[in-house]
Structure 1
């Protein structure tokens, strides 16, 4: 069960944006990722709980950030409910549904989930529609991404060989793109994300 800590920073000026302490593991029918998120001063400000089914689809998602909460999953595409505990009369509670394939957001969990779902072979590409929950209020935005698996390389580590997959991921609306490096079920590096600590080796790529 890999566990560790990611740090986040602004991709334009490297301003620190906080941390995410995570653990993840394969289950009997899929994969689960849980994490707590912290501000730059160490204050707990949210959580992530994502469960994938045997086909790496989002069976269940629960996000919390600054009081906002999103619960969702794969149902007629993707379905979710966004709420806030201060919304006593439900005036700000909203439901959403999109003919999309995966959720995304700041957490590295979403990169792993989408890469697994696409199951690309080396050199191949795919276009995928995703629903992003933007920081800091988890507002939904639907967009198309382009994924290319540029290389698969084996690296020697203290705990044995590690296969690293390098993806190029692009926002097809804005043209912005970046490289994502995955080792098993851990993000080694991605735009705005650094792996700061890893207590146990990555799980296998499934």
Structure 2
């Protein structure tokens, strides 16, 4: 069960946004990721709880940020309920999309598991519902993912396979690179792995 810490920053000007303390593990039905997010000053600012089935579909998502809460799952596309800080007004949403995304590294792992690309695969187009900080506002985005290369690196615990993905935003054409090893993000825009106490788990 990998357990560690990501640092989060603005991908454009590198302003520190905080840290995400996480643990994740494959299970009998898929994969689960749980994290707590803190501000640069160390105050609690949110949490992520994401569970996938064995095909990589989100069977449960729970996000908290700035007193806002989202609960969602793959149902007729993806379906979610967003609750305001007072708890009085809840709004429901449903989009014919494949999965969710957001600021957490968990979503990058989840999308890679859903797509199951190989270096020989053509780029895959995917529709996602993104929940944007700080109020978890939903918006639909279309991305293209391609696995550029997959390389094995020698480590003290045996070879570690690192996958390099090129991700393109289809509305703006903006491209960025994501490096994954199993169920851990090594580097991505706004995300850096700072600490990891056990090797990543392989995701079949």
Query: TM-score range, shorter-chain basis?
Result: over 0.9
Q: 1:22 maps to what in 2?
A: 22
Please give the root-mean-square deviation of Cα atoms over the aligned residues, in Å.
Answer: 0.8
Q: Distance in 2 between matches of 1:40 and 1:185?
A: 25
Secondary structure, aligned partner of 2:24: strand
Alpha carbons 2:26, 2:203 under 8 Å: kept:
no
How far the C-alpha of 1:205 sits from its partner, in A, is 2.4
Aligned to 2:129: 131
Secondary structure at 2:163 match in 1: strand
Task: Count residues with an aligned counterpart.
Answer: 203
Unaligned runs of 5+ in 1: none
Deviation string 1:102-144 (CA, Å, 9 cap, x unpaired) is 1000000000000010011114210000000001110001010
Q: Is 2:139 the counterpart of 1:141? A: yes
Tell me the CA shift for residue 2 of structure 1.
0.2
Instruction: Determine the C-alpha separation between the residues in 1 that align with 2:175 and 2:132.
Output: 17
Query: Contact conserved, 1:25 with 1:203, CA < 8 A, in 2?
Result: yes
For the 8 Å contact 1:123–1:151, the answer to whether it is kept is no
Contact 1:6/1:20 (8 A) holds in 2: yes
**1:189 to partner: Cα distance:** 0.4
Indicate conservation of the 8 Å contact 1:123/1:148, yes or no: no
Structure 2 counterpart of 1:173, from 152, 171, 174: 171
Q: After TM superposition, what 4+ stretches of structure 1 lie above 6 angstroms from structure 2?
A: none
Q: Which runs of 5+ in 2 are unaligned?
A: none
Q: What corresponds to 2:193 in structure 1? A: 195
